[in-house]
A and B are shown apart, each in its own frame.
Chain A
Amino acid sequence: MGGFPILSLMLLVPLLGAVACLKLEAPAARQVALVATLIDLALGVVLWLNFDIGGAQWQFVERHEIFAGFNYALGIDGIALVLIMLSVFLMPVCIGASWHSIEKRVGEYMAAFLLMETLMIGVFAAQDIYLFYIMFEAGLIPMYLIIGVWGGDNRIYASYKFFLYTLLGSVLMLIAMFWMVNEAGTTDIPTLMAYDFDPGVQTWLWLAFFASFAVKMPMYPVHTWLPDAHVQAPTAGSIILAGVLLKMGGYGFIRFSLPMFPEASAQFAPLVFVLSMLAVVITSLIALVQSDMKKLIAYSSVAHMAIVTLGLFAFNVQGLEGAMMVMLSHGLVSGALFLCVGVIYDRLHTREIARYGGLAINMPKYALFFLLFTMGSIGLPGTSGFVGEFLSLAGIYQVSSWVALVGTTGIILGAAYMLYLYRRVVFGEQKNADAAAMPDLELREYLMMIPLGLAVLWMGVYPESFIAPMRQDIAALDARLARVKPHYDAPLMLGKGTPAEEAHGEHAAEGGHH
């Protein structure tokens, strides 16, 4: 792809679609939006196929010095690649999920989503710290409108909360960026990633970035905007929120906090562990008692993202790869779960779990897909959830068995609340006649469910496809973090006793990947 600006094209296609949608009537706007997102998906596939695994760290680099103070610089590594793939994969699903359920102001709705897609890709592809910030922050505007215009009854409160929470988090990050750029003399993210800031200052910089990413992620005490936003947002809004927007927090940690401030990250790792452990246990328990399906999945998102932060701050390859895999898997699975909720919400217009029951009888195919995604969320081996959660917990186990122990309760509790949800909605007797009369999936819904289901299985059965592009970047990050490796209470030992000759071979093979 010598010099072809594919990343710019991926930004431009949805942007043009958004402008076009503003002017179009409902049916045309839907089609334009779908075509634009599918083109972007195709471009994403081209991007993936042309990504040279094991090649240069930064590929598809574009750089134009057209602004004062910052540059239009794009480029991706493997981490950004998989997250961009996740974004472009989920976008057509979002458009499909809104095909019939959004009836008012369709043009503006589609425009907001396409704008969102541009900004999401921009966040992951930006190689300039200020360009990243602009893209990161700009996403607030379309999401605010999506929640506020097309949301549920309490949408206005939720939209304000979403906007102001995340804005307050990110403005402090901007101040930290000013300081860093002034100190390092460059806005180039790869250069900044290798720059060694004074450890004393790192503390402050880390906290400023943490304020932003912890809110976005969201981490335990500042997660309260998420359930509100999810419950009020339309289905597609929830998909994109859970699927991609939350990943920006994790991406921020892995792209900024860890490589740029390794000392501060190590210093604050205990804080992150405590918050993550609290999140895993508390939000899982909260999820267990929810009567609203979307709220339940929203709380489960907080718990899953806590596993991500645990993995990230384990500072080893397993933890980092696991965190990335949890993010990808959670993007697919929670998106799919919100889609499942949306499918029955479109039919019955309620998210009350108690209003459903026995859907396996009248919607068997729906029940099948819902089961698959439920298992994915639980982390059943063979689904995407397992790979990431296993790796993350394996990573954190080396650092602290106790943290891993608490983290693992999240998996158990996750199984509890998801199975409990599934039982109440899909099994049991059919309590309500209207719920019992709901028709099974239609073609449009199959078209959304099947690709999601296949992706979940693919990621569960052969995760190598997704880990391979990231491996080199994770290894580089691991090397960067080597100097601040925490004390391991249960480190991986290459088998010393000769009897376990085979086990030794396996470990060596695994080590060889990294």
Chain B
Amino acid sequence: MDFAHSLSLIAPELTLSVAGLVLLLVAAWSGDKAARLISILGVTALVGCMFLVAPALCNGFMGPDFTAFGGQHRADAFAAFAKLLIYGSSAAALVVAPAFFGRLGQMRAEYPVLIIFAALGMGMMASAGDMLALYIGLELNSLASYVLAAFLRSDGRSAESGLKYFVLGALASGILLFGISLTYGFTGTTSFAGISAALSDGMSHGALFGIVFLLAGLAFKIAAVPFHMWTPDVYEGAPTPVTTFFATASKAAALAVLMRVALEAFGPQAGAWQQIVIFAAIASIVIGALGAIGQSNIKRLMAYSSINNVGFVLIGLGIASAAGASAMLVYLVIYIVMSLGGFVAILMLKDADGNPVERISDLAGLSRTRPALALALAMIMFSLAGIPPLFGFWGKFVVFQAAVEAGYVSLAAIGIAASVIGAFYYLKIVKVMYFDEPAGVVTGRSDWTLQGLLFLTALFMSPLGYLLTKWLGQLADTATAALFLAA
């Protein structure tokens, strides 16, 4: 594998790095008034990278030909699948930002640059073929994310959210690193392929501790119970476009890397981590659902909803099969679009002065004052609750189907019964919007970018989304095949 070939495989990463650096220079010289231009260029770079990675997925690239730098980096279909999600949601986080920050006079030029570097780190996580590559990608992403969470410097909640995220995130990174070092110590390698080979005939207690610490660190990143505490505070405090970014791109990257570590590196010893993952799945579903019931802030509610949804994704991982992994990817796509739609709708909730409205009680009677917005938000809520015929149902469908097919019937039964608890709080939002008398708070209008994005996500969640099921399933299968071939 020569160096030039490796470089060609990391073309998306190179593009993003160069774009990020150039835009940083532009930002340094022309200041905040160029923020919008930088955003547009940033979106262009991200969309361009999506085109660069798409062939890998469509043509099902997998195997050693698509491994760069001696196994450090994999440019296979699985990475491409995750990167499409990451870059797409990063671009969306850029598109929705100007309307939010512009009103506060805080649309600074650093925002797009930070998002691009975070996306770059996430892409590296998804492509990682080695623990160290994973860690570098994760830290690149995390450092940018900490700054983004605290992006509204003058806002106490934002600063608090940034600090919390940083302190807890640093702790999680430490745990992760400890897990990596234990794994290295007991298997003698940091490459996923090497670990997999070393574990193929038995695992020592030390390596078991390694996987436990690794999973704990990654569970923090995906906000799975019991490492979920930071999520509501960070989601609530961070500026809404940044929350959108955390709920979509970060989720995709963290779950992708979790799949790589669990199924690729520790694939031969699935029995060792399955019960941990299953526990985290059920606990996330239940605690995410119960925690959301008492919330009065819609961003906090979405945070608990994301914990709840991660639980469903983890059911796919808990069964440790190719079908489960494929179901996870399908769920992930649907969840990311739903959550993107949800946050776009939240961004559109503004009072007469354009201030964001976050209290759930202020949504009262929205169906009469803003029928289209209320309809879209209601669709998102029913979809998140997994009620057919909305497309959110399909995510739960494939995950539970995979669980039942793999023989985990009681896991599926517990999970799906717990999902009914979740339906309660999603219904609450619909109830407030449709059944209550109008509060007359949400009166502000939004520009066409938000409306267009909301329309697209709502269209995806409508029953028309089912027309995508075949195509989505095929792509997920291709990506999963690449993941399991690498393992």
Contact = CB atoms under 8 A, between A and B. Distances in A.
Contact of A160 (B413, B427, B472): B427
Given A66-B470, A69-B398, A179-B404, A138 B416 contact: no
A178 B470 contact: no
A160 B435 CA distance: 12
A182 B434 CA distance: 40
A164 B424 contact: yes
A172 B401 contact: no
Interface string B412-425: 11001101100110
Contacts of A380: none
A435 interface: no
Nearest to B420: A168
B389 interface: yes
B69 interface: no
Which of A69, A108, A160, A171 gathers the greatest number of chain B CB atoms within 10 Å? A171
- Shortest 6 CB-CB distances between A and B: which pairs? A178-B404, A68-B469, A134-B388, A68-B473, A68-B470, A138-B389
Interface in A137-177: 137-138, 140-141, 144-145, 148-149, 155-156, 159-160, 163-164, 167-168, 171-172, 174-175
A140 B420 contact: no
Contacts of A179: 404, 409
B230 interface: no
Interface of A: 22, 66-69, 105, 108, 130, 133-135, 137-138, 140-141, 144-145, 148-149, 155-156, 159-160, 163-164, 167-168, 171-172, 174-175, 178-179, 181-182
Given A68-B470, A137-B388, A140-B387, A168 B417 contact: yes
Contacts, number: 93
Contacts of B404: 175, 178-179, 182
Nearest to B403: A178
A75 B79 CA distance: 43
10 contacts: A69-B469, A137-B387, A138-B388, A155-B435, A163-B423, A167-B420, A172-B417, A175-B400, A175-B412, A182-B404
Interface residues of B, number: 36
B343 interface: no
Nearest to B477: A68
B4 interface: no
B466 interface: yes
A171 B420 contact: yes
A182 B412 CA distance: 14
B382 interface: yes
Most B CB within 10 A of own CB, among A133, A134, A148, A181: A134
Given A133-B388, A179-B404, A141 B470 contact: no
Majority SS at the chain B contact face: helix
A178 B412 contact: yes
Contacts of B178: none
B397 interface: yes
A141 B387 contact: yes
B431 interface: yes
B420 A148 contact: no
B434 A145 contact: yes
A71 B90 CA distance: 35
A163 B467 CA distance: 27
Interface string B432-444: 0011000000000
Contact of A148 (B371, B375, B435, B472): B435
Contacts of A149: 434-435
Contacts of A130: 397
B413 A172 contact: yes
A141 B383 CA distance: 11
Given A141-B382, A145-B434, A164 B388 contact: no
Interface in B322-376: 367-368, 371, 375
Nearest to A160: B427
Given A66-B467, A171-B417, A178-B401, A164 B434 contact: no
A130 B393 CA distance: 11
A145 B467 CA distance: 26
A67 B434 contact: no
Contact of B431 (A141, A148, A164, A172): A148
A134 B391 CA distance: 11
Contact of A172 (B389, B393, B416): B416
B155 interface: no
A180 to B, nearest CB: 10
B435 A171 contact: no
Interface string B261-273: 0000000000000
A56 B472 CA distance: 37
A248 to B, nearest CB: 14
B391 to A, nearest CB: 11
Contacts of A133: 388
A144 B398 CA distance: 26
A216 to B, nearest CB: 15
Which of B382, B388, B404, B416 has the most chain A CB atoms inside 10 A of its CB?
B388
A172 B435 CA distance: 29
B435 A156 contact: yes
A163 B470 CA distance: 30
Given A133-B388, A164-B424, 17 more contacts: A68-B472, A69-B397, A69-B398, A69-B469, A108-B367, A134-B393, A141-B387, A144-B430, A149-B434, A168-B417, A171-B416, A172-B417, A178-B412, A179-B404, A179-B409, A182-B401, A182-B405
Contact of A138 (B368, B387, B435, B470): B387
Nearest to A66: B467
A141 B470 CA distance: 26
A95 B135 CA distance: 62
Interface in B466-487: 466-467, 469-470, 472-474
Given A69-B469, A138-B387, A168-B417, A174 B434 contact: no
Contacts of A156: 431, 435
A144 B424 CA distance: 12
Contacts of B387: 137-138, 140-141, 167
Nearest to B375: A22
A513 B472 CA distance: 51
Contacts of B375: 22
Nearest to B423: A167
Contacts of B413: 172, 175
Contacts of B427: 144, 160, 163-164
Contacts of B368: 105
Nearest to B389: A138
Nearest to B417: A171
Contacts of A105: 367-368
A476 B427 CA distance: 42
Contacts of A163: 423, 427
A148 to B, nearest CB: 5
A133 B396 CA distance: 13
